[in-house]
Amino acid sequence: MPRQKLSEFRAKTILSEALELPYTGWPVNADEPLDGQLTQPAQAGGPFVVKVDEGVKGRFKKGLVALDVEASKLAEAVKEISSKGYHGVIVEPMVRHEQQAERYLSMMIDRSGLALQYSASGGVDIEANPDSIKRVKLDDETDWQQLASDTGISEPKLKKLAEVFKSDYFAFLEINPYLLEGSDLRLLDAAVEVDDAGEFFVDNWTAEDFRSHTGQGLTEEEKVVKELDANSPASLKLSVLEPNGSIFLLLSGGGASVVVADEVYNQGFGKQLANYGEYSGNPNAEETYMYTKQLLQLLLRSSAKQKVLFIGGAVANFTDVGKTFAGVIKAIDEVADQLKSQNVKVFVRRGGPNQEAGLAKMEAALAKYGLLGSVHSPDTPLTDVVTEALRELKP
């Protein structure tokens, strides 16, 4: 999953170090006892700003930022945020300033290279002033002097920013707002997205610093799959959309999985779609077993009256269908009785290395347990089988 948001604490730590700026901030985990975690800021004296730190966009508007918090009220402010379903919080000293002083800066990379965007009217409403944002490409022809005067950030510091962007495998950087204080600057809010494929090459951050997009807690099953994925050369993804959904997808392949999910959505079954997920890159049987087990747990827990499971994907190039299906069948074996008692029907469509053996074993197992919807080879178009499965749900 290449692009990942760093925690604000980590982002600011890296940026402050690069720009030789002092930084004070304390990361707080709302799930742990607060007393110990808040001792240091309390000693430093207030007031503070308390913000959620889970890569959430539009924090102000969502009421996830508390301003001007006294030391004695820190725990209260943290609990207020955690009561909304968040865990990661950051505490920083409050900096009083005029809103007009807020400036905006961002940096991004694409095929044409590195670019910098800036505006003198930063802050929460930057999106309302798109015309104020200037964009400059950063390359051999950049007029750094001009840029320094426009942004108020010195030339060496701007160059340092571009340097750390590259050396730390940033994909996106946004400082909004920052303030100019004499000849120096202060970063009030900073967001950094990194290319997680760069982890091997950097020292300044690790996967521990990633914050998820949703800000929602993961289910146990999603956590297990995340762990599986992290420890495997193959790719294993699972996200729950509707815990009480009717349609569960056990899919293979980054492309085909989206095609199948699209089909469910396009046919008007989006609301009943329980999950999105996929495995690919030839996982071993143990991995597909663990993966399937998580999905089946979710399926059995769903309160939907009718449930179908769609297993499948495109015609694999190198993922061994026999082997991966062996793991899937093992997981089905374990809960076959429960699946049967919930009247679950399973539909399968898959091709690839060893497809004959894999499909035959799958069909035999499903028939034995009374779960068989249908089993198809690539001779039947992928989406036809999705349609067949969805028909099962119609009254």
Partner 1 sequence: MKDLRTLGTKIISLGSHPGIIQSMLDYSYCIGDESPQVVAIISSGRKQERYFWGNKEVIVPVYSSLQDVSEETRSAISGLLDVRSARRVLSGMKEALELLPGLEAVNIFAEQVPEEHSLEVEKLAKQHGVLVAGPASVGLLVPGVLKLGAIGGTRYPQLVAANIFKPGDTAVVSTSGGMVNELIHTVTSAGLGVSFAIALGGDRFPVTTPAEAFLLAEADSGTKQIVYFGELGGNDEYVIAELLKNGKVTKPVLAYVAGTVAELFAEPPQFGHAKAMASSNDETAKAKKEALRAAGVEVVDVFGDLSNELSKRGGEKKPQEHNEIGVRHKSLIVSRLSGDVNGDVQLLGRDLLSVVNENSLAGLQLSLLLGLEVKSDKLIKFTDYILRLLADHGPYVSGALNTVVAARAGKDLASSLTAGLLTIGPRFGGAVNAAAGAWLNGASNDAKPKDFVASFKDNGGIIPGIGHRKYRIDSPDPRVKALTEQFSGNSNGDKYLNFAKGVELVTTSKKANLILNVDGTIAAIMLDLLESELGSTKEQLQELVDIEFFNALFILSRSTGLTAHYLDQRRHDEGLLRLSEDDITYIP
206 binds partner 1 (CB under 8 A): no
Of positions 65, 204, 254, 297, contacts partner 1 by CB under 8 A: 254
Residue 244 interacts with partner 1 (CB under 8 A)? no
Stretch that binds partner 1, among 69-77, 107-115, 300-308, 327-335 (CB under 8 A): 107-115
Q: How far is the CB of 38 from partner 1 (least distance, A)?
A: 30
Least Cβ distance, residue 181 to partner 1 (angstroms): 32
Q: Can you tell me the distance from the alpha carbon of 17 to that of 268, in angstroms, rounded to the nearest whole number? A: 51
State yes or no: residue 203 binds partner 1 (CB under 8 A).
no
**Min CB(373)–partner 1 separation in Å:** 18
Using CB under 8 A as the binding rule, whether residue 133 contacts partner 1 is answered as: no
Q: 9-43 b/e with 16+ CB inside 10 Å = b?
A: bbbbbbbbebbeeebebbbbebeeebeebbeebbe
Q: How many residues bind partner 1 (CB under 8 A)?
A: 60
Nearer to partner 1, 180 or 259 (CB): 259
The distance of closest approach from Cβ of residue 32 to partner 1 in the complex, given in angstroms and rounded to an integer, is 26
Applying CB under 8 A, which of residues 258, 360, 364, 367 lies at the interface with partner 1? 258
Stretch binding partner 1 (CB under 8 A), from 21-29, 33-41, 307-315, 329-337: 307-315
**Rule CB under 8 A: is residue 252 a binding residue for partner 1?**
yes
With binding defined as CB under 8 A, does residue 278 bind partner 1? yes
Tell the smallest beta-carbon distance from residue 15 to partner 1 (Å). Answer: 18
Phi (first) and psi of residue 215, to 5 degrees: 75, -10
| HEC secondary structure over the chain | CCEEEECHHHHHHHHHHHHCCCCCCEEEECCCCHHHHHHHHHHHCCCEEEEECCCCCCCCCCCCEEEEECHHHHHHHHHHHHCCCCCEEEEEECCCCCHHHCEEEEEEEECCEEEEEEECCCCCCHHHCHHHCEEEEECCCCCHHHHHHHHCCCHHHHHHHHHHHHHCCEEEEEEEEEEEECCEEEECCEEEEEEHHHHHHCCCCCHHHEECCCCCCCCHHHHHHHHHHHCCCCEEEEEECCCCCCEEEEEECHHHHHHHHHHHHHHHHHHHECEEEEEECCCCHHHHHHHHHHHHHHHHHCCCCCCEEEEEEEECCCCCHHHHHHHHHHHHHHHHHHHHHCCCEEEEEEECCCHHHHHHHHHHHHHHHCCEEEEECCCCCHHHHHHHHHHCCCC
Selected range binding partner 1 among 59-67, 72-80, 276-284, 326-334, rule: CB under 8 A: 276-284
Of 46-54, 104-112, 329-337, 364-372, which segment contacts partner 1 by CB under 8 A?
104-112
In the complex, what is the shortest distance from the CB of residue 179 to partner 1, in angstroms, rounded to a whole number?
Answer: 27
Q: How far is the CB of 17 from partner 1 (least distance, A)?
A: 21
For residues 207 to 226, the per-residue mask of contacts with partner 1, x marking binding by CB under 8 A and - elsewhere, is ------xxx-----------
Amino acid sitting at position 389: A
- By beta-carbon proximity to partner 1, the closer residue of 92 and 278 is 278
Pick from 46, 47, 93, 198 the residue near partner 1 by CB under 8 A.
Answer: 198
Over the window 343 to 362, marking each residue x when it contacts partner 1 by CB under 8 A and - when it does not, the resulting string is --------xxxx-x------
111 binds partner 1 (CB under 8 A): yes
Q: Which amino acid is at 141?
A: E
The CA distance from 90 to 196, in Å, is 22
User: With respect to partner 1, which residue has the nearer C-beta, 48 or 86?
Assistant: 86
> Rule CB under 8 A: which of 360-389 touch partner 1?
378-379, 381-384, 387
Name the residues that contact partner 1, by CB under 8 A: 1-3, 109-111, 166, 169, 171, 195-198, 200-201, 213-215, 235, 237, 239, 241, 252-259, 261-266, 270, 273, 276, 278, 280-281, 313-318, 351-354, 356, 378-379, 381-384, 387
